Amino acid sequence: MHTNSEEVILILIISTVLILLLVAVVVVALLIQNKRKYKHRQQLSEMQGHFEKTLLQTELKILEETFSAISQNLHDNVGSNISTAMLLLYRDENMKTAEQEENRKEALAMLDKIVDDLKHIARSLNPDYLFKIGLNEAIQQRIVQLTKTKKYELELLLNEIPQQLDRKKQVILFYIFQEAINNIATSI
């Protein structure tokens, strides 16, 4: 009987050691798993930070280029049109009344165009306007404006932009579109 109880004790000791080994293996496996998860989260966090930094740099570059294009547009188009309108309104004693009236009408037409140009520039800088009419419509309006200049023949095939696209991304897409159009316009 003594050998039976020794066998039972031996089996209990071996079982206890095996259970402890199993528990130790599980604990080590969980620690390794947690370490991998932590490292993975850290990598995701770094990637997210890098992505946000890159996105911010892209936004800043787009804004710089957009403001530069707008500045150029104001200088080239609006400024020169105002100068021309002022010259047309200048009254020379040697001018006939009919010529002065024709110049006045032409100057007023130019001033109307200048006001329209300034409205379009202001709208392109106002994200609330973009959100009010929607990204698709804003792009379509810009195409119509460019077509009216008679300098370009434009055709735009635009798929519907997803409605769930957040506001920030819509603004970035619109600025990218504007910059692409400005780059095309200045290269032609």
Q: Do 187 and 131 share a structural domain?
A: yes
CA distance 109 to 105: 6
Residue 19 forms part of a structural domain: no
Q: Which of 125, 140, 157 is the last residue of a domain?
A: 125
pLDDT in tens, 29-54: 999 999 999 999 999 999 999 998 88
Of 169, 164, 170, nearest to 133 by C-alpha is 170
* Positive/negative CA dihedral, 97, 102, 105, 111: negative
Domain-located, residue 34: no
So what's the pLDDT on residue 36? 95
Q: What is the 3-state secondary structure (H, E, C) of 160-179?
A: CCCCCCCHHHHHHHHHHHHH
24 part of a folded domain = no
Q: Are residues 145 and 98 in the same domain?
A: no
Q: What is the predicted pLDDT for the residue at 85?
A: 80
- Give 62-102 pLDDT, tens digit per residue: 777 777 777 777 777 777 778 778 877 776 667 788 888 88
Select the more confidently predicted residue: 186 or 44. 44
99 located within any domain: yes
94 part of a folded domain: yes
What pLDDT is recorded for position 83? 79
Question: Looking at the domain assignment, is residue 82 inside a domain?
Answer: yes
Would residue 106 count as lying in a domain? yes
Q: Is residue 38 part of a domain?
A: no
185 and 131 inside one domain? yes
Average pLDDT over residues 176-185: 76
Q: Are 144 and 107 found together in one domain? A: no
174 shares a domain with 146: yes
Task: Name the pTM for this structure.
Answer: 0.43
Same domain? 86 vs 99: yes
**pLDDT value, residue 94:** 73
What digits encode the pLDDT tens for the residues 111-142? Answer: 888 888 787 777 767 777 777 888 888 888 87
Looking at the fold, whether 151 and 166 belong to one and the same domain comes out as yes
Q: How many domains does the chain have?
A: 2
Query: Residue 108 is part of which domain span?
Result: 68-125
The tokens 């002065």 sit on which residue? 100
* pLDDT value of position 43: 95
Q: Tokens representing 182?
A: 């400005």
pLDDT above 60: residue 1: no
Q: Residue 2 has what pLDDT?
A: 66
121 and 131: one domain?
no
CA dist 179 and 169 (Å) reads 15
What pLDDT does 106 receive?
86
